[in-house]
Amino acid sequence: MKLKVCGLSNSLEVKTCVSLNVSYCGFILNYQKSHRYISFNKAKKLTKIYKKNTKYVGVLVRPTEEELNYFSKLNLDYFQLYGNFRSEDLLKIKEKFKKKIILTIQVKKKDDVNKYKSIEKESDIILWDSSGYEESLDWNYEWLKPVSTRVEKMIAGNITIDKIKDLKGLADIIDVSGALETNKVKDIDKIKKFIFEIKKINDAN
């Protein structure tokens, strides 16, 4: 099980994640309602940090073509997209901007889980998330059990450290943000504890 730490906003947070071999670091690029939003210039500085084996992810909510073009200039490995995209839209984005795609499905009800079937072909990772953007909401992670896809599965939505063991086998990657914060600011100690808990669970299996 791999980890994505999302909503990073300073160099200490990024360097901590990279040094502890977090698989993905996420940056909120165009959603200014989120307290985790960062400016283009800050994102430029943070994505220049030497990343070793970590992948950098730009999170974009309903991006315009202009925004995709703008943010494609950053040192990103993935675009994480929220919005309504068809398979042909994703193919066009991948070919034009040379980024891998994490396509997000926001889950309100059980049937929402199956929306992956129409976009899995052009997605590199599929993220099942809660229906909230700037807040983490619960949903029933067990709904992912019957999902069968060749694409890596990522899961998000109010994932706390005590829930990690229950997600083993449901998803390849867990995506965490709010659980790593104290007063809406990333807490380095919480990040480290979360990473070590995942390592412990992985090592036990």
Task: Name every residue whose Cβ is closer than 8 Å to that of residue 5 and which is 6 or more positions away in sequence.
Answer: 13, 17, 22, 24, 25, 26, 176, 177, 180, 191, 194
Mean pLDDT of the chain: 94
Tell me the per-residue pLDDT of 83-106, one tens digit each, with 9 for 90 and over.
999 999 999 999 999 999 999 999
- The dihedral region occupied by 73, where left means phi > 0, alpha psi between -120 and 50, and beta the remainder, is alpha
Tell me the per-residue pLDDT of 174-199, one tens digit each, with 9 for 90 and over.
999 999 999 999 999 999 999 999 99
Domains defined for the chain, CATH in brackets: 2-203 (3.20.20.70)
**pTM of the model as a whole:** 0.94
| Token reading at 119 | 């976009």
Task: Name every residue whose Cβ is closer than 8 Å to that of residue 136 and which is 6 or more positions away in sequence.
Answer: 130, 156, 157, 158, 159, 177, 178, 179
In total, the chain counts a number of residues equal to: 205
Report d(CA 127, CA 175) in Å as an integer.
Answer: 8
The pLDDT value given to residue 99 = 97
Decide if pLDDT at 134 tops 80.
no
Report d(CA 65, CA 89) in Å as an integer.
Answer: 11
CB count in 10 Å sphere of residue 106: 19
Tell me the per-residue pLDDT of 39-48, one tens digit each, with 9 for 90 and over.
999 999 999 9
Least confident of 21-25, 130-134, 136-140: 130-134
Nearest alpha carbon to residue 56 among 28, 75, 81: 75
